[in-house]
Amino acid sequence: MVDDVPVLAHPEGVLVRVWAVPRAAKNEISGWHNGRVKVRVMAPPEAGQANEQVSRLLADRLGVRVELLRGVTGREKVFLARRIEIEEALAKLSQ
């Protein structure tokens, strides 16, 4: 079922489904939450600060460009990670 899968195929790479937690004690990818990658960031959810930190954290972990596609104002977000395969993305996000 698609709702349980945090990484989906996309013609340009993969879609990464994220559960964002702003104002956390530290920046980290902390596992899975309801079929999404749980990303905790120290930034507040104001003026795009948390979105920027989530994007940077994902890009650093995956080693590719990452773009926010959906979820600008909510905790549930979808990012496009370009030029990476599902298996590689899952392996890097699970580290």
- Pairing relation of β-strands 66-70 and 36-40? unpaired
Q: 48-71 burial, b if ≥16 CB within 10 A, otherwise e?
A: eebbebbbebbbebbebebebeeb
For the 2-79 domain, the top CATH level (class) is: alpha beta
Q: Among candidates 55, 64, 51, which has minimal Cα distance to 92?
A: 64
Q: What are the residue ranges spanned by the domains of the chain? A: 2-79
pLDDT per residue as tens, the chain (95 positions): 467 889 999 999 999 999 999 999 999 999 999 999 999 999 999 999 999 999 999 999 999 999 999 999 999 999 999 999 999 999 999 98
Residues 36, 77: Cα–Cα separation, whole Å:
9
Q: Among candidates 29, 40, 36, which has minimal Cα distance to 95?
A: 29
